[in-house]
Amino acid sequence: MVLENSPVLVLSAYAIIIAVGIILILKLSKDKTRKISTLRLFIQAAAVIIVFLGLIIGPFNQPDSLFYPLGISPRDHLIGADVLGNQFPDGISLPILACYYPNGRTVTCAIWQLQAYVFPFWNAPLRGYEVVYSTSGLEKIAIVVGMLAVAAIILGRLFCGWLCPFGLYQDLLTRIRKSARLRHLNFSEKTNAKLGQSRYIIIAVFMILSVIFASYSIFGTQLIPGTKVGGPEGTEAGIVSNINEPFCLVCPARPLCILIEVAIGQINWSYISQIVYGPFWISGFYLTSINLAILVAITILALAYRRVWCRICPLGGLTALFSTFTPFKQIALTKLQKDEHKCTKCGVCKRVCPTQATAMFEKKGGDVTESKCMLCARCVEICPYEGALELKFAGKSLMKSRNWLEENKSGSNQPD
């Protein structure tokens, strides 16, 4: 296969296409209230392809591969192993919700890694999923947390607003709602605040479950019978063979990624549809009934409430922890800035925010980045006052609000 043998050529061509696309959008887009949104949608789509780049450049499964029944999805292509070696073989940890299971592991969801490195891959050396784990779980977790912290300090929740595949899915649902000319719903400020707090409860619960499952490896005793790791691949563990990485069994991004890759021919449906009766009612090798039910529920809610999953996403919560809370907030490079002297408190920024962030409206000025803010820059785009809001990186302006009212007095642009 040409693509398989020429990854550098593919990457170079793709980088040129992205650069040309960005330039054309910036040059040709006339509507100042939609230019950033159009650019963001383009970058989101481009990012999805980058995240799942292994699907394009291979190498693809060989007949002797454990995951050969999956079809042509490149389960043997591990960017982490190629770049970092067997010390860290599962892919680069970035704060975006991109499922480890079906993709090429170019980028790996850090939530999966944090759970997996507690159970079942705490001990070393250990073999699992066709890779060798030569470092301890504690070392691997430290690497993941370090990568998350560095990524969050550099770009913050811009990962959520501009690069996350599941974020793109929700934004497409929002566009469907808009095309149907339906108004979105809002949570009360109290409810929205509680949803934001739930992110940390969710990650704490699933990490505690992982520790309980791994109690034999960590403490030398089984808190739940049947949780001693065993089997030829080092992943089977009695009753836990169906509940490794517990959050992944309820995550809505997992079935979405899998179903899309089945639809485009990257995974064989016959393998996915194998039925297993277990703790989560009915499941295949990758899907559970709860997975699918939550995906359906989030899809329906996202049609009514903008970016509803992002308000409770534990990965988004971790990203916010390392970018919008002290001491990380002080050294974060990507920030939303407000000039209090140019703000008239019109409130349009508050109305258009997909996650109902309020700091850019309520705070007087300065750094108004908060944990709910995804740095999507919709507020910057829609603010009608020159330089009142500004997205900055390392002190340099990336984009700032413009006085588009002077150039567009027709009233045709309705903030949403």
For the domain that residue 343 is a member of, what is the CATH number?
3.30.70.20
> Quick one: 338 and 307 in the same domain?
no
Same domain, 157 and 283: yes
Distance CA 155, CA 149 (A): 10
Identify the domain containing residue 373 by its residue range: 333-406
The Cα 227–Cα 28 span in angstroms is 59
Whether 400 maps to a domain, the answer reads yes
- The angle at the Cα of 133, spanning 132 to 138, to the nearest 5 degrees, equals 175
Place of tokens 């066709």: 130
Residue 265: the pLDDT is 75
Percent of the chain with pLDDT over 70: 79
The confidence score (pLDDT) of residue 17 equals 92
Is residue 258 within 8 Å of residue 272, measured between CB atoms? yes
Cα–Cα distances (Å) from 372 to 229, 396, 412, in that order, read: 39, 23, 29
142 within some domain: yes
Summarised one tens digit per residue, pLDDT across range 5-20 is 466 777 788 889 999 9
pLDDT of residue 93: 87
pLDDT at 405: 73
In a domain? residue 412: no
Quick check: 379 and 349 in contact, CB under 8 A?
yes
- Helix, strand, or coil (residue 391): strand
Q: Are residues 307 and 373 in the same domain?
A: no
- Residue 149 and residue 12 share a domain: yes
Average pLDDT of every residue of the chain: 84
Q: Is residue 413 part of a domain?
A: no
360 and 290 fall within a common domain: no
Has residue 326 been placed in a domain? no
What pLDDT sits at residue 414? 52
Contact 328, 322 (CB under 8 A): yes
Where does a domain end: 253, 281, 311? 311
Q: In angstroms, rounded to a whole number, what is the distance separating the alpha carbons of residues 137 and 122?
A: 4
Please check whether residue 217 is in contact with residue 119, taking contact to mean a CB–CB distance below 8 angstroms.
Answer: yes
Residue-level pLDDT at 65: 61
CA dihedral over 186, 188, 190, 191, signed as positive or negative = negative
Which portions of the chain are predicted below pLDDT 50? 1-5, 232-239, 411-412
Same domain assignment for residues 303 and 337: no
Q: Give pLDDT, residue 4.
A: 47
Asked if residue 102 is part of any domain, the answer here is yes
- Domain-embedded: residue 115: yes
* 287 shares a domain with 340: no
d(CA 60, CA 73): 6
pLDDT of residue 410: 52
Same domain, 157 and 290: yes
> Within this chain, do residues 239 and 304 fall inside the same structural domain, yes or no?
yes
